[in-house]
Structure 1
Amino acid sequence: MNKAITDGVLLMPPAFANGLDVWSSGNGTPGSSSYDGAINAALVPADQDFGGCLELQKTAAVQKVRYMGETPLLPGCYLRITARVKAIGGSLPGVRIAGWAGGAGGTHVNDVIEVGPTETLATYGNVVEVSAIVGPGARGGVDMAWGPQAIYGHFGLDLTGQNGGIVRIDDLVIEDITSAFLRDMLNVVDVRDYGAVGDGATDDSAAFEAADNAAAGRRILVPAGVYRLAENVSLNAPVTFEGTVTMSADKMLILSKSFDLPSYIAAFGDEELAFGKAFQALLNNSDHESLDMCGRKVTVTAPIDMQAAVPNKTTYATRRVIRNGQLTAIGGAAWDASKITAQATYSASDPRKLTNVANIANIAIGALVEGSGVGREIYVRSKNVGAGEITLNAPLFDAEGTQNFTFTDFKYMLDFSGFSQLSQFALSDIEFQCGGLCSGIRLAPTGSTFHLRDCFISRPKDRGVTSIGTGCQGILIDRCQFLSSEDSLTVPERSSVAINVNANDAKLRNNRATRFKHFALLGGSNSVVLGNHFFQGDEVPAGVRTAGLVMASNFNSSTITGNYIDNCSVEWTNERDPTPDFSTGFSFSAMSITDNIMLCGDVAPWFSFIVVKPHGTGHFLNGVTISGNKFRSLNGAIDRVERIDTSFSDLDFTRTKHLTFAANTYHNVQQQAFNPLRLDHTEGSLAKTWLIGTGGELPFGGRVRRVESVQPQDQIQNGSGATNHSLPFARTEQGPAGNQAHLVWSEPVRGTVAVTVRMDT
């Protein structure tokens, strides 16, 4: 790089032989005295060493020689000023290159070094060369660093020491030596050339911006050092960091052309800090929709508060993605869950509130709530300390009055709960190595379409993905692995949950989960659970099993299809109903469980794959399809695949509507269930009323509410052996449990019939 060549910039001052009227004995500024006609200065036309030169007698303490022309200092350029001098008489002076730094409008740039190293003349007639380098950056070899404010200089030399000496000075040489400071003259812009200091104290923000403005397609170099950026800095050129930067949490570094995690790690020198600053830039930069971790592993020592990393935003609703990396937790007290027991009051009239909460200031938003009458996965969504009130993510089913509740704040690797709303955010191809130290992800209180795809959440201590409000609306979880940290524990000892959802429209598709207490609790409706494999067994003979899926809404309108449900059950409950007894609505309705593989082994015989658990009286099944499933038990048979958990209440089977339980296959299941149920009945002796039993094969132990068909399989004979051609009429819901029917004929008859009955209407 040489501006005299590339841009035609005039750097060289004129020869002394052209006249001394442009050479000043002062600073060279307008109005300063020149050497034209001075008694101590003369032109020598032919010196044996120099040719034409200036002969000068030292008469001042600092005898100055300055070119009165303005030599330009261009951004990023470095100039070398050289003078050749010899003493010819009198006292031997010191010689140094010197200059005057000029800024915009002819102002003097103060507080910069304006002299180079001094060389003392030792003998007469011996030619001594002195030089100094001037430029914007304080770089190695630069004698006079003038920063970005200086735009020109008046250059020359000084004679120091005793007066009276006579010297001859050859013509001054000024040349562009910027190339000596550039590693690649065509591709690199060094921030030091624009005034960056890199001492960790000076604000280098303006220098970074100036380098970016000058880059024009070239790469910015941040050399070794610590550069403090006190302002927001946005760089539109690619950047290479050899040094690091520091900036406060509220200031942003936007690397538009180097927007990936490795660049931020290089910039900040700390993986955790860099991850937060890169996320901050992601939410404040319209040029990029995703942050690529480029396969980097980030060691995480404490929960990452994602909102605290972006202090200028509490809501965000534009699609953004973090992708392609690994987050690994390492040990420390920062991961320890905090637990507080406090008294509070609950009323079903305001079902999402706890009031008169003691010690509320120390209860964390996002804490798990436990207590008598509290369902699973109930969390603190928000709190009002002044009013002593806590808002919950879902109602409680039986906690009326005042009692002690336990509030446990799990610690999450990525915690989005500080946002009031976060929508359209995605995490893709990321491995969360929780290591049994921490939980995985905590969502914002509100928001929609959070997307987790192709991720591993490995060994979370307590929870994989937690929703503390409705930030799970329309959540999408696709092709993820949830690997439990409780793999070695027996089923009753486990407490971890892979996923919980409170809002509607969840999509769980093609995931795999191992040995959690629950794979997912879905508290909303309109969910799709498709193609997942979740297994929760252990090696205990005749062991108990927990629910893999907990569907915690009675009007569910959900589809559970094509899953591999391994050593766990689907539990359907209304435990989030603040008034559990049925009074109005559709009750347990709109559920489709189809085409799943359901396998168990070494389980207690009372285990069932599908469990309905009502928490109040009067509930019934309404619009339920269970078909095409493959039920199998290994190492022992189970009693049946479906049952009612009557811990709180039973179902009202006199009101069952639109239940299809058909086309399933059964292996090692004692009581197989069908609705409609086809029975073959043979009456061997004459009877006018035939009792038709169902043998426990109606689903859930239901009642016979309808006889759909009666088809004789051979001759129906009366007492005389004649054929009876009449049709019987049916009485339904017979017997103590209502699970029998009566066929009433016109006369006593015997024979065999195929009967189809239903437990619904």
Structure 2
Amino acid sequence: MNKAITDGVVLMPTPFSAGLDQWSSGDGTPGSDTYDGAVNAAFVPADADFGGCLELQKVEATQRLRYMGQTPLEPGCYLQVKARIKVMSGGLPTVRIAAWAGTSGGAHVGGLTEVGPAVALSTYGDVVEVAAIIGSGQRGGVDMAWGTEPTYAHVGLDLTGPTGGIVRIDDIEVADLTSAFHRELMAMVDVRDYGAVGDGVTDDTAAFEAANAAADGRTVLVSSGTYLLSGGMVFTERVRFEGTVTMPREAIFSLTKNFDLPAYIDAFGNEQLAFEKAFQSLFNSADHESLNCGGRRITITSPMDMQALVPNRTSYAQRRNIINGQFYVQSSDAVWDPDVATSVGTYSTSNPRFLTGVTNVANIQVGALVEGNGVGREVYVKAKNDATQEVELSAPLYDASGTQNYTFTRFKYIMDFSGFSKLQRFSLSHVDLLCNGFASGILLPPAGVIFHVRDSWITRPRDRGITSHGEGCQGMLIDRCQFLTNEADTRAQDRTTIVVNTNANDVKLRNNRASQFKHFAVLGGSNNQVIGNHCFQGDAETAGVRTGGIVVASSYCSTTITGNYIDNCSIEWTNEYEPEPDFTTGFSFSALTIDENVFLTGNVAPWFSYLVIKPYGTGQSIGGLSVTGNKFRSIDGSIDRVDRVDETFAPLDSTRGKNIRVEGNTFHQIETPIYNPVMVSHDQNTASDTWMVDTEGQLPFGGQARSVESVVATERLRNGSNQTRWAVPYVDLQQGSVGDQVRLNWEEPLTGEVAVRVSMNAV
């Protein structure tokens, strides 16, 4: 019979009728004794049951019968050796299929099982069939699992038990049973056929490598079992998993032909472990730039230290992308509780990004939130040095000179990239982070450019959505994402969760939606673009308090905020990241554009304002601000005005300021609208040579009347005799108790009406 898997390979031994010189009484190797001319063996040409057959007398304790020819073996093939036998007279022996395992060069492969199950012959004349299967893999039903080293066998049988008995043996048959072990023989190569054991203890690495090498375009099958791999494994062919793999954490498992998360889940059984191994491979292979999670929901039970998953890399600069998956936090265990440390440290404005002399520094974690007197919002530990007791900060502190206690709170994140020294061009797209109130979302690396999150959801983060503790947010892009709160039933002023903070420049937040957080964004760098977002921070309180939706935390910010829906929150502009917030030199509050946004509130306190400037030091002024084309509306009650200076730390210097443009906005249920320049009408009923013109609080942020662009008579000017006069006044600026009035000085007492265009910008 020829093998079905390889045409032309002869498996069947020659029949006994061809001569007994092809049959050995030893192991079947060249030079061993044969049954040709032996006194205890003869060919019987016409047996009633067998036709031609061998008659053999058992004269040895183990009487061997081996075919002298070589029956070929190949990895993945399974051969059944079968014989029919009957006892004619004498002692009743036991019979078993047996074979000798050989390799190229004629060497014997030791240490293998070379016999099949024994069958006792109990009745004279009854025909008994014995069989055994030889193959490379340790499968159910395989009697002689030889692995891949043997290349041929000398097949036959053994007679054991009492001597003296005479038996007759029909021609021995060898059949290819490979198809019984492979459902898709021609398209699949099984690792068990190459020596894999799958007991979770034996190292199956070599067998996996051999199966992959032999596949040659076919699929490698990892059949049922648990396979231990002591080192890394790179599959260059497609792999199908029925069993699972276990291996050291640092060992890389790479599926180059079917690199996706579902395949890794099949390989490792555990969803989080599968993602971690796939991520490790993503950073160690040039074959793929994206890990497709296949839309799978991945159960996460502990924070993932993303750099620890790739211990051979501390930085990475090639584009990599994780797409199309859902990460579901399913544990409320203490593993997600923030770690809190309290230490004494010293701060000096001469070294504004460091705390020195920090006690207990070993217990402070990189990425921890720093809190203490004079510490601005969203200041984090960027790095630390235990030996020198120094902590590097993500931003300077505005009023912390000297020594004091600090609290360091390390939140726990689903994806923690803080272990990388630098990570560039990394992105997440179409990904859901379901934090479920247990975990925070993403902690960025301390350095890197173009971290991109798009078309994704971060739902119910416990503390933070996306945190930057360094400059890993440089050029960050967050596009078309949804951020849903875990604090919907909490009053706005009592909320603690924040969607995103940044420290570096060139951040772009575009077309996102954030609902009911303390802050949507705390932006520490400059050159930011906040475009097309919807941030909603309302609650069910009557005359409720609202917090900053977008916090711009640097005075010179060069930031554009346009086309957003600012819903029940404000834009807050501060200089809390300046170590010396009192103004001495520079641009002060400058380069902010707020254009074409929709501002809406409902049921808020009347003192609420959409635009808030909060100086953290004295002498600050506005050096560049554009507020144009916005729609301001309050429902369920009006508010006093849309702008406000928060003087908690210091007032704004209204005697200075330039490049301030506030025009083209609309106001609904706003008591006092704002403009700069503002056009005011003054009607003088009593003749006077000095007219006091009041801007009525319409100059933004308590601005003073520092210039007059025009004075136009809108009614006839008359003297006390009711005679018409064509006169031009000169102007006194910054009049009144707060400097928001101008005085028109005429040559003679006049009455009439004028329109005056007043600006808080100096000429």
TM-score range, shorter chain: over 0.9
Following superposition, the deviation at residue 626 of structure 1 comes to: 0.3
* Structure 1 runs (4+) greater than 4 angstroms displaced: none
Partner residue, 1:623: 624
Partner residue, 1:50: 50
Following superposition, the deviation at residue 557 of structure 1 comes to: 0.8
AA of the residue aligned to 1:381: K
Indicate conservation of the 8 Å contact 2:2/2:12, yes or no.
no
Following superposition, the deviation at residue 6 of structure 1 comes to: 4.1
Partner residue, 1:259: 259
Partner residue, 2:491: 490
Partner residue, 1:682: 683
For 1:531 and 1:682, how far apart are their aligned partners in 2?
43
Indicate conservation of the 8 Å contact 1:2/1:179, yes or no.
no
AA of the residue aligned to 2:683: T
Partner residue, 1:469: 470
For 1:322 and 1:344, how far apart are their aligned partners in 2?
40
For 1:16 and 1:471, how far apart are their aligned partners in 2?
80
Following superposition, the deviation at residue 287 of structure 1 comes to: 2.5
Q: Secondary structure at the match of 2:148?
A: coil
For 2:232 and 2:195, how far apart are their aligned partners in 1?
17
For 1:702 and 1:410, how far apart are their aligned partners in 2?
42
For 2:632 and 2:456, how far apart are their aligned partners in 1?
30
Following superposition, the deviation at residue 214 of structure 1 comes to: 2.9
Following superposition, the deviation at residue 365 of structure 1 comes to: 1.2
For 1:477 and 1:339, how far apart are their aligned partners in 2?
29
Partner residue, 2:433: 432
Partner residue, 1:601: 602
Indicate conservation of the 8 Å contact 1:550/1:570, yes or no.
yes
For 1:396 and 1:589, how far apart are their aligned partners in 2?
20
Task: Give matches, 1:694-733, under 5 Å.
Answer: 694-733=695-734
Partner residue, 1:169: 169
Indicate conservation of the 8 Å contact 2:2/2:11, yes or no.
no
Task: Give matches, 1:154-233, under 5 Å.
Answer: 154-233=154-233
Partner residue, 2:354: 353
Indicate conservation of the 8 Å contact 1:4/1:11, yes or no.
no
Q: 1:600 to 1:5 in 2, by over 3 A?
A: closer
Partner residue, 1:645: 646
For 2:446 and 2:106, how far apart are their aligned partners in 1?
59
1:655-680 deviations in whole A, cap 9, x for unaligned?
31111000111112122111111111
For 2:140 and 2:470, how far apart are their aligned partners in 1?
58
Task: Give matches, 1:368-447, under 5 Å.
Answer: 368-447=369-448
1:156-179 deviations in whole A, cap 9, x for unaligned?
111212333333333221121111
For 1:699 and 1:150, how far apart are their aligned partners in 2?
90
Indicate conservation of the 8 Å contact 1:597/1:631, yes or no.
yes
Q: Secondary structure at the match of 1:3?
A: coil
Indicate conservation of the 8 Å contact 1:348/1:400, yes or no.
yes
1:91 matched to 2:87? The reply is: no
Structure 1 gap ranges (5+): none
Following superposition, the deviation at residue 470 of structure 1 comes to: 1.1
Following superposition, the deviation at residue 267 of structure 1 comes to: 1.7
For 2:490 and 2:5, how far apart are their aligned partners in 1?
77
Q: Secondary structure at the match of 2:659?
A: strand
AA of the residue aligned to 2:64: K
For 2:541 and 2:53, how far apart are their aligned partners in 1?
104
For 2:382 and 2:107, how far apart are their aligned partners in 1?
61
1:487-507 deviations in whole A, cap 9, x for unaligned?
111122211111111111111
Q: 1:5 to 1:509 in 2, by over 3 A?
A: closer
Partner residue, 2:735: 734
Q: 1:2 to 1:700 in 2, by over 3 A?
A: farther
Q: Secondary structure at the match of 2:21?
A: coil
C-alpha RMSD of the superposition:
2.0
Following superposition, the deviation at residue 285 of structure 1 comes to: 2.7
For 1:227 and 1:4, how far apart are their aligned partners in 2?
29
1:284 matched to 2:284? The reply is: yes
Indicate conservation of the 8 Å contact 1:352/1:393, yes or no.
yes
AA of the residue aligned to 1:109: V
Indicate conservation of the 8 Å contact 1:446/1:470, yes or no.
yes
User: Which piece of structure 1 moves more, 662-671 or 422-431?
Assistant: 422-431
For 1:612 and 1:24, how far apart are their aligned partners in 2?
102
For 1:5 and 1:298, how far apart are their aligned partners in 2?
41
For 1:446 and 1:276, how far apart are their aligned partners in 2?
22
Partner residue, 2:109: 109
Q: Secondary structure at the match of 2:129?
A: strand
Q: 1:168 to 1:2 in 2, by over 3 A?
A: closer
Following superposition, the deviation at residue 226 of structure 1 comes to: 1.2
User: Which piece of structure 1 moves more, 44-53 or 248-257?
Assistant: 44-53
Equivalent pairs: percent with the same residue? 58
Partner residue, 1:275: 275
Following superposition, the deviation at residue 55 of structure 1 comes to: 3.1
Indicate conservation of the 8 Å contact 1:4/1:10, yes or no.
no
Partner residue, 1:664: 665
Following superposition, the deviation at residue 5 of structure 1 comes to: 6.7
1:321-375 deviations in whole A, cap 9, x for unaligned?
2222322222211111121111111111111111111111111111111000000
AA of the residue aligned to 2:673: Q
Partner residue, 1:632: 633
Q: Secondary structure at the match of 1:700?
A: helix
Following superposition, the deviation at residue 2 of structure 1 comes to: 6.6
Partner residue, 2:304: 304
Following superposition, the deviation at residue 682 of structure 1 comes to: 2.2
Q: 1:585 to 1:103 in 2, by over 3 A?
A: farther
Following superposition, the deviation at residue 572 of structure 1 comes to: 0.4
Following superposition, the deviation at residue 564 of structure 1 comes to: 1.1
AA of the residue aligned to 1:759: M
For 2:453 and 2:106, how far apart are their aligned partners in 1?
61
Indicate conservation of the 8 Å contact 1:249/1:311, yes or no.
no
Partner residue, 2:239: 239
Q: 1:5 to 1:727 in 2, by over 3 A?
A: closer
1:551-603 deviations in whole A, cap 9, x for unaligned?
01111111111111111110000100111122222211111001111111222
Partner residue, 1:141: 141
Indicate conservation of the 8 Å contact 2:2/2:8, yes or no.
no
For 1:724 and 1:104, how far apart are their aligned partners in 2?
124
- TM-score computed with the length of structure 1 as normaliser: 0.96
Q: Secondary structure at the match of 1:211?
A: helix
For 1:379 and 1:151, how far apart are their aligned partners in 2?
65
Partner residue, 2:481: 480
AA of the residue aligned to 1:718: N
Indicate conservation of the 8 Å contact 1:2/1:178, yes or no.
no
AA of the residue aligned to 2:704: R
Q: Secondary structure at the match of 1:753?
A: strand
AA of the residue aligned to 1:634: I
Q: Secondary structure at the match of 2:623?
A: strand
Following superposition, the deviation at residue 377 of structure 1 comes to: 0.5
Partner residue, 1:70: 70
For 1:105 and 1:757, how far apart are their aligned partners in 2?
105
Structure 2 gap ranges (5+): none
1:344 matched to 2:348? The reply is: no
For 2:305 and 2:499, how far apart are their aligned partners in 1?
21
Following superposition, the deviation at residue 463 of structure 1 comes to: 0.9
- TM-score computed with the length of structure 2 as normaliser: 0.96
Following superposition, the deviation at residue 260 of structure 1 comes to: 2.4
Following superposition, the deviation at residue 301 of structure 1 comes to: 1.9
1:360-397 deviations in whole A, cap 9, x for unaligned?
11111111110000000011111111111111111111
Following superposition, the deviation at residue 728 of structure 1 comes to: 2.2
AA of the residue aligned to 1:158: D
For 1:686 and 1:493, how far apart are their aligned partners in 2?
57
1:177-228 deviations in whole A, cap 9, x for unaligned?
1111122334333222221111111111222222223334433332222111
For 2:667 and 2:683, how far apart are their aligned partners in 1?
25
1:583 matched to 2:584? The reply is: yes
1:67-89 deviations in whole A, cap 9, x for unaligned?
22222111100111122223334
Q: Secondary structure at the match of 1:615?
A: coil
Following superposition, the deviation at residue 687 of structure 1 comes to: 2.6
For 1:502 and 1:3, how far apart are their aligned partners in 2?
69
Q: 1:4 to 1:700 in 2, by over 3 A?
A: closer
